[in-house]
Structure 1
Amino acid sequence: MKIAFYGSSLLSSYWNGAATYYRGILKALASHGYDITFYEPDAFDRQQHRDIDPPDWARSVVYPATADGLRSVLAEAGGTDIVVKASGVGVFDRELLDGVVAQSRPDALRIFWDVDAAATLDEMRGDPSHPVLRALDDLDMVLTYGGGPPVVDAYLGFGAAQCIPVYNALDPETHHPAPADPRFEADLALLANRLPDREGRIEEFFLRPAAQLPNRRFLLGGNGWHDKPMPENVRAIGHVGTADHNSFNCTPRAVLNVARDSMAHIGFSPATRVFEAAGAAACLITDAWEGIELFLAPDEEVLVARDGADVAELLAGLSPERARAIGEAAKRRVLAEHTYDLRGQQVHRIFEAHRQRTREAA
């Protein structure tokens, strides 16, 4: 079966946190025999910051971020069995969704894949003409990369035929233990782009502990932090490509995960960083959010902090031996329960179930 997938970027993780998720899910689906084409706009300097070559498990089409470029790629939707519009493409999002509905075959499976459901739902609540809200009657299902029961209930309440979370996971061929790298030496490291709805939480969970522990070393990777005032013991190193993520996770004593405001509020939304760190056997400290125990066991496979004071206390008392034990336990858990192979099996079953319902209704 052919899949046309319209997303932000498969080839670049630059200002594109969904890249790891797309790669993991689509690579796993390809192993089930799906013929996948990923359409991404040439926008936001992502093509100048590619961190993978075009893969052999999907055809990559980079199109100009113009009206003509949009028309050219939407014209291909009609030749596929499954058409996916992901959220957050950043260019022509409304037109892409309208085009997917209009251009796909009547018998095609039409999906909106929401990689930021909390934000999308907030927009829908405030805008009766929101494109996703208008498209729900013509979509067969909504898939999300997080959110759990609150997101499912909200989408069903808006009229979605189905809403199913497909959570982030680990590709053990990509993210795994690696040798330490002196570039990433620190007591606590955080990898996060500077975003308005996460900056306040990073101030609390990362910069506040750094100020409280002036003798500890803190490392911050990600875009946008160059002009942010920080304690002297914080080293900001800018964008870290996915090829360096394993060393980034394996070198520090611990790594930190900080959810965005909306994700923390709605819960059940582990970031890709959670599974990357666990796959590398890193000791992960995460801010508290509902549903964490579905993915990692607090105090055994992950350390959970309610605020910056908790982070400082956890870090101050974290021995190298305990950090290694937590990281190894996390790695065992995600390899057993949270790989993209397993997520791919889940999505394949979702597609097959839809096909079966369609045949029965014919």
Structure 2
Amino acid sequence: MKIVIFGLAISSSWGNGHATLWRGLCKNLTRMGHDIVFYERDVPYYAGARDMSEIPAGRLVLYPSWQAIHLQARDDVRSADAAIVTSYCPDGLVATQLVLEQAVGLRVFYDLDTPVTLARLRAGETVPYIGPRGLRDFDLVLSFTGGPRVFEEFQRGLGARRIEALYGHVDPEVHRPAPSQPHYRADLSYLGTYSQDRQRALETLFVDPARQRQDLRFLIGGAQYPADFPWSRNIYFVRHLPPSEHAAFFASSRLTLNVTRQAMVEMGWCPSGRLFEAAACGAPILSDMWEGIGDFFQPGEEIILAHDEQDTLGAIEIDDSALQSIAKRARERTLDQHSSARRAIELVRLLEGTARPRERQLTNQEEA
């Protein structure tokens, strides 16, 4: 198949989780023989931290403005078997219009920010990457988050007809066990872009325990942390880590923390890419709790769950042998069920199982 994607960013992993996910998917899709074209608006804040310049065996189109590539995009959409528009695509509305008007193949919307989308919808706010007709004109809607509420709200609030979950994943060729590095050494680490709606949980599960255990080393890696973040003398900071450094970061952690954004916690069934990345690198994981987490990792066997500061302090006291056994089981499950190769296969099956516009029209005529 030829698959054309209009997305947020694949060329820079700075401050966004979309890039790593698309890199893993596109690599495996091209290996399966599919033709991938990714359209990304070239913006300064990603250009200044670009850590990928091309899609191996695919095509990356970095463009300065929609007007500059409108005709090229039209031709790609017309010749595509599937055209995908994603959440937070800077030109999502005009890309949607192009896909709906010109696509001969499947018209797909992939929401990689489902909890944010639905939270805006419930609040009566505009969703900047979804037009006034919602999602009713797409042949397939993919959601980064699963669970019964997602399907109901996408149908009721946005008119989506066919909705399927396509969860996060990890590329084990990028995220894999690696030698520990002294500068990343930590008794407890946390890797993630700063987010205000994660701050309370991060303070409870990370900052407060760090203050209690001044004898231990705590490490945060990420971007956009404010000057007034409540640091303590034993919390160290590494500004933005590219994916190539994630393995060393996790490998140097005795235990690593996963904190989920509040909207995702409320939605449930919301595994972040970081969760799978840490598991693939062989790091023991401590995570906040949310409904559905047991569908991805077995609590107590493959992951440790924490509700408060005392849970974190207790997890830190678990002996190394037990932590490594938990990490080993989580890595095995991740490679089997949550790899980028597995998700690429799932995506192809979903596309192949969705009626093309012409087929759907003929079916509707026959039923009438």
When normalised by structure 1's length, the TM-score is 0.92
State the AA in 2 paired with 1:209: P
Tell me how far 1:67 sits from its aligned partner.
4.5
Equivalents in 2 of 1:211, 1:231: separation in Å?
A: 7
Could you tell me which amino acid in structure 1 is paired with residue 198 of structure 2?
Answer: R
Q: Does 1:323 align with 2:323?
A: yes
Structure 1 residue 31 displacement after superposition: 2.9
Q: What is the CA–CA distance in structure 1 between the aligned matches of 2:95 and 2:200, rounded to whole Å?
A: 32
Deviation at 1:98, TM superposition (A): 3.1
Q: Which amino acid aligns with 1:146?
A: T
Alignment partner, residue 22 of structure 1: 22
* Residue-by-residue CA offset, 1:82-110 (whole Å, 9 max, x unaligned): 11111023x233333333323x32x3211
C-alpha distance in 2, partners of 1:304/1:3?
38
- 1:128 to partner: Cα distance: 7.7
Percentage identity across aligned positions? Answer: 32
Matched, 1:196 2:196: yes
Note the 1:36-115 alignment, pairs <5 A: 36-64=36-64, 66-69=65-68, 71=70, 74-75=73-74, 76-89=76-89, 91-102=90-101, 104-105=102-103, 107-115=104-112
SS of 1:174's equivalent in the other structure is coil
Distance 1:148 1:31, change over 3 A: farther
Name the Cα RMSD after superposition.
2.0
Compute the displacement of 1:54 (Å). 1.1
Query: 1:226–1:185: structure 2 CA closer, same or farther, 3 Å change rule?
Result: farther
Q: Equivalents in 1 of 2:205, 2:69: separation in Å?
A: 41
Q: Aligned AA for 1:298? A: P
Change (3 A) 1:259 1:360: closer
Cα gap change, 1:229/1:306 in structure 2, threshold over 3 Å: closer, same or farther?
A: closer
Offset of residue 196 of structure 1: 2.4
Give the Cα separation in 2 of the matches to 1:79 and 1:229.
53
Q: What is the CA distance between 1:162 and its match in structure 2?
A: 0.9
User: TM-score, normalised on structure 2?
Assistant: 0.91
Q: Name the CA shift for 1:230/1:70 in 2 (closer, same or farther; >3 Å).
A: farther
Tell me the residue number matched to 1:119: 116
* Partner residue, 2:270: 269
Matches within 5 A, 1:167-182: 167-182=167-182
The question of whether the paired residues in 2 share the 8 Å contact of 1:7 and 1:87 is answered with yes
Q: 1:253 to 1:354 in 2, by over 3 A?
A: same
Does the Cα contact within 8 Å between 1:39 and 1:73 map onto a contact in 2?
A: no
Cα deviation digits, residues 141-168 of structure 1 (max 9, x gap): 1101223222122112232111111111
Are 2:85 and 2:95, in contact at CA under 8 Å, matched by a contact in 1?
Answer: yes
Does the 8 Å CA contact 1:267/1:289 hold for their aligned counterparts? Answer: yes
Residue in structure 2 matched with residue 245 of structure 1 by the alignment: 246
Aligned partner letter, 1:98: Q
Displacement of 1:225: 1.8
Aligned pair count reads 357
Gaps of 5+ in 2: 363-368
Unmatched 5+ stretches in structure 1: none
Deviation at 1:197, TM superposition (A): 2.1
2:136 aligned counterpart, secondary structure: helix
Show the counterpart of 1:293: 294
Q: CA deviation at 1:119?
A: 0.7
